Amino acid sequence: MGHTKPYRSKRDHSNGYCRAYELNLSKLLADEAQIIAAAPEGLRLVKDSIRTLDNEVVENISINAISNPSNVKRVESIISESDWNHLFPLRDEKYTYLNFLKAIGKYPAFCGDYSDGRDAEAICRKSLATMFAHFTQETGGHDKSIADVTPEWRQGLYYLREIGWQEGTPGGYGVCGEETWQGRTYPCGTFPDGTYKSYFGRGSKQLSYNYNYGPFSQSIYGNVETLLNQPELVADTWLNLASAVFFYLYPQPPKPSMLHVIDGTWQPNQQDIANGLVPGFGVTTQIINGGVECGGASEHIQSQNRIDYYHNFANYLDVPVPQDEVLGCASMKQFDEGGAGALSIYWEEDWGWSSETPTGETYKCQLKAYQVPHSAFIEGDYRKCVEYHFDVTIIDDLEGVAPTANAGVDKTIFSDNTVVELDGSLSSSASTDTLTYEWVSQGELLPITNADKAVATVVIPKVDVTTEYPFTLTITNQDGESDSDDMVVTANTKPDNMPPIVTLSGESTAISGESMTVTAEIVDEDDTVFTIDWTNDSNLTLVIADDDRSVNFVAPEVEVETAVNITVTVTDSGNNIVSSAQTVTISPPDTGTYPNWILGHEYAAGDRVTANGVNYECKPWPYSAWCGSNVVYQPGVGTFWSEAWFVVE
């Protein structure tokens, strides 16, 4: 799923430090918590959307049961068993209505509730229409000869397994070699004769490849092995429909999840808009199969099928289709690393430098948007990432340590039924402890979602005067030892006009004489017209775009690295004034054929540099992600420079 990057194991040390670096477990956990805390809110929103229900509870779901989860009840009120039979009359017998309900129940966010005023039922109906349209294209009979009796849009779920494949056929759709990270992270199951099992398309999503079966297995069972060893379960059990729900909810950076497109969580930035990526059914096709169906001069036949099916399902489910909704994906470019969906959810080596360690290495991992083995959504993967990339020994300094609760910092918000995260992930205890968590609202009792988790959420009501809401976190280990900590959310009256949120983007490094662009992204729930002023601290001539949202300048001549600061000040109709600044480090020009290599510069495929009289070209994506990331890739010098660069004449 998503973009992948070549992977290698821990680097060799050439600095004479031969011992494994000793890292305290408390430090490792604190590093992880700090990185997660600093991540964009999108990471938490995705975590919330992919949470799962225990399989024991899922297996107890039954048709119209009073004990069914609330999202299942909502779906039952929209799609009855008779509706299911009408919509999918040619389906394989394994695609039962009960399996459909269990698939929904596994993922509470699908057709779940919203605490911010969004219409949960409308989102649910649109989600169902979207998902049905897509898996009808993937699994439909597409038999025009019977269209008078059963139109094509009602021929979905006809195929359970990919055409031409059957259980027992070895060696298909797998990246199984141990020399690949996919093969190591998602090890292919084997038949008794030692041949690899096949991961051909199964179920409503036609899930394929071991590196997709593995994450789906992790989501269902908490491990990757179950479905890698028993891939037939994706066809023969309720997983045949759960795979489509999983795929609907799970992002593939730089692609957002389809749920977050449909429910409005994903909002395109300027680069997305320039690429034609805007909310609507069409962008969900780009997410599913954009490389094949999208970007052409006219609508691809498969994309047109999806549009036709969506129209019919939307009509059946009373989903309005606005005339201006973009339903197709012709001329739509693919998602890229500059888009709003490029959420960093994978743990990758932090290639930075530290003055605090004997080797200069960070002994940390960082979050990246391209797919590598370790996920921010899997407990313990941060430690695995650090241990994989660095010669390190983790010292358990938490053994015997009493639990210490940490409810996080106090927060101040403008409240209008605002969802606030209560984060107790910095709480600590002995590494062998099993902790329970309890969040309690003091004073005015507010209902807390996931009150028994380290990270919970609460809706702070709209207030007329500044109001403090205290919360207490209590953690308890298996021996009954406990500790508590408090935090306060201060709710201020929401102003009639909210201030804008201003973010600057652009290259952070440049070479003298290079043309540079800095772009302002402005998000304001009240205004669309602003007064925008650009300034800088180095007497640069700024060329301001017609819409005032970006500036261009030429990097000045410098003899040594020099920092310049570009500042934008935005004023809205409520006279709210917000400023944001970006620092650009200017380097002197190189005397070679091409510019000199700069550590930290984000090189693109095809970029060239000159080093020690030799010219180098940055390799294509995904190798280009390494070109400026670390000194080990410094052209001609770094230990692994040839993994990122070609020598050119």
pLDDT given at position 524:
84
Question: Tokens in use for 222?
Answer: 């908490």
Mean of the pLDDT values across residues 73-84? 98
Q: What are phi and psi of 339, to 5 degrees?
A: -85, 170
Higher pLDDT, 571 or 602: 571
CB 157 within 8 A of CB 204: yes
d(CA 347, CA 374): 5
Instruction: Give the mean model confidence (pLDDT) for residues 265-274.
Output: 92
Q: Taking 70 as the threshold, does the pLDDT of residue 13 lie above it?
A: no
Q: What is the mean pLDDT of residues 58-70?
A: 95
609-638 per-position pLDDT tens digit: 888 778 999 988 777 888 887 777 889 888
What percentage of the chain carries pLDDT values higher than 70?
A: 97
642 φ, ψ to 5°?
A: -70, -10
| pLDDT for res 12 | 46
pLDDT tens readout for residues 505-530:
887 778 888 888 999 988 887 888 99
Residue 456 · residue 448 · CB < 8 Å: yes
Average pLDDT, the chain: 90
Higher pLDDT: 372 or 534? It is 534
Q: Which CATH number fits domain 590-649: 1.10.260, 1.10.3470, 2.10.10, 1.25.40?
A: 2.10.10
Q: What sign for the dihedral angle of Cα 110, 112, 116, 118?
A: positive
pLDDT confidence of residue 15: 44
Q: Within 10 Å of residue 637's Cβ, how many Cβ atoms?
A: 12
Burial status of residue 528 (CB atoms within 10 A of its CB: 0-12, 13-18, 19 or more): exposed
Task: Please provide the DSSP assignment of 342-385 as one string.
Answer: ----EEEE-----TTSTTS----EEEESSB-SEETTSTTHHHHH
Same fold, 411-493 and 501-587: yes
Residue/partner pairs of 213-217 with CB below 8 Å, 24 or more apart: 213/186, 214/185, 214/186, 215/1, 215/186, 215/250, 215/375, 216/243, 216/246
Two tokens, residue 18: 């031969």
Report pLDDT digits (tens) over 194-248: 999 999 999 999 999 999 999 999 999 999 999 999 999 999 999 999 999 999 9
Query: Is the per-residue pLDDT at 266 higher than 50?
Result: yes
| Cα–Cα distances in angstroms (integers) from residue 299 to residues 261, 334, 349, in the given order | 21, 15, 41
pLDDT in tens, 577-587: 999 888 888 88
* pLDDT at residue number 337: 85
Examine the pLDDT at 101 and tell me if it is beyond 50.
Answer: yes
Domain boundaries defined on the chain: 21-39+344-391, 411-493, 501-587, 590-649
Check pLDDT > 50 for residue 6: no
DSSP symbol at 116? S
pLDDT band at 592 (very low <50, low <70, confident <90, very high): low
pLDDT tens digits, one per residue of 525-567: 788 899 999 999 888 999 999 999 999 999 998 876 788 899 9
Coil, strand, or helix at residue 320? Answer: coil
- Summarize the confidence of residues 273-291 as an average pLDDT: 95
DSSP state of 352: -
Does the pLDDT value for residue 42 go beyond 50? yes
**Which amino acid, residue 186?**
Y
Closest among 587, 601, 594 to 629, alpha carbons compared: 601
Per CATH, domain 501-587 is 3.40.50.150: no
DSSP H or E run through 28: helix 25-38
Quote the pLDDT of residue 614: 86
Planar angle of CA 326, 290, 270, nearest 5 degrees:
55
The third-level CATH classification (topology) of the domain covering 411-493 is Immunoglobulin-like (2.60.40)
Identify the CA nearest to 5 among candidates 255, 372, 382.
372
- pLDDT at res. 14: 43
pLDDT tens track for 432-480: 888 999 999 998 789 998 899 998 889 899 899 999 999 999 999 998 9
- How far, in Å, CA of 113 to CA of 110, rounded? 9
- Nearest 5°: the CA angle 588, 623, 520 is 55
Per-residue confidence (pLDDT) for residue 155, from 0 to 100: 98
Query: How confident is the model at residue 377, as a pLDDT?
Result: 92
- Residues 381 and 375: beta-carbon distance below 8 Å: yes
| Catalytic residue list | 138
**Digit-coded pLDDT (tens) for 292-317:** 999 999 999 999 999 999 999 999 99
> Which pLDDT score is estimated for 570?
94
Cis before 461 (ω within 30): no
The pLDDT value given to residue 8: 46
Strand order in the sheet with 515-523: 501-505, 515-523, 550-554, 543-544
Q: How many CB atoms lie within 10 A of CB 411?
A: 16
